[in-house]
Amino acid sequence: MTAAVYVVSIDPQASTVWWANRITDLPFDFSQEHETPENLKILKDTGAKVHVIANQKGGVGKTTTTLNLGAVVADVLKGSDNLLHVFIDTPGSLQDENLLLEALKYAHDVIVPMPPEGLAFDPTARTIQKVIEPSGLPFTVVVNNWDPRDGTADRVDTEQYIDAQGWPRARTVIRRYKVHTRASVEGKVVTQYPKNRVAMEAREDFFRLAIELGYGGGA
């Protein structure tokens, strides 16, 4: 590993691999380890901060969050020869909970993406209460994939639900943009989007989240 950022997937669906393989100029080191989760042990000796992206509900945006956070942090830290941050994409299912638990052994914190949809409430609560909280790791819930065209009601309801549970919540909300959906097919991460207003706003969300979470440096 020679880059400042390393992205690793332990999701057997390997959607991160499918996306990463399409990127011609990958801004971070990457590997797929769902068949060899024991390889995560090497992270203990790197000195890097390990961030696990987790929610046992599928389709909440874990892969998008993982790759784009990795991309913006790599952009901020470009030029560094030291590995500083690791982002781990995890399975969106209960069946692969053992893989998530393995990743949490080496984590410094957990990011929990949560779309503003009622169907996401119970699976997110289970993930936090049954898996993340028992680990004792600090975690942050991020309202993800909110479409401003739908108005603020769903976003506010979701934020109020998160706050009522007493969970730490990111102030930054990741907005839904078609450019994010196309990015996986086009083989791009957020720092490689075309230079237009929508793409700039899409990038801004992830840069703001990285700064809020303190991922702009070695700490």
Task: Provide the residue-wise pLDDT of the chain in tens; the chain has 219 residues.
Answer: 568 999 999 988 767 777 777 777 888 999 989 888 888 999 988 999 999 999 999 889 999 999 999 999 999 998 788 999 999 999 888 888 999 999 999 999 999 999 999 999 999 999 999 999 999 999 999 999 999 988 899 999 999 999 999 999 999 999 999 888 888 888 889 999 988 998 899 999 999 999 999 997 443
- List the one residue out of 140, 172, 167, 138 whose CA is nearest residue 155: 172
Element (H, E) at 31: strand 29-32
Helix axes 62-76, 178-186, angle to 10 degrees: 80
Q: 44 with 166: CB under 8 angstroms?
A: no
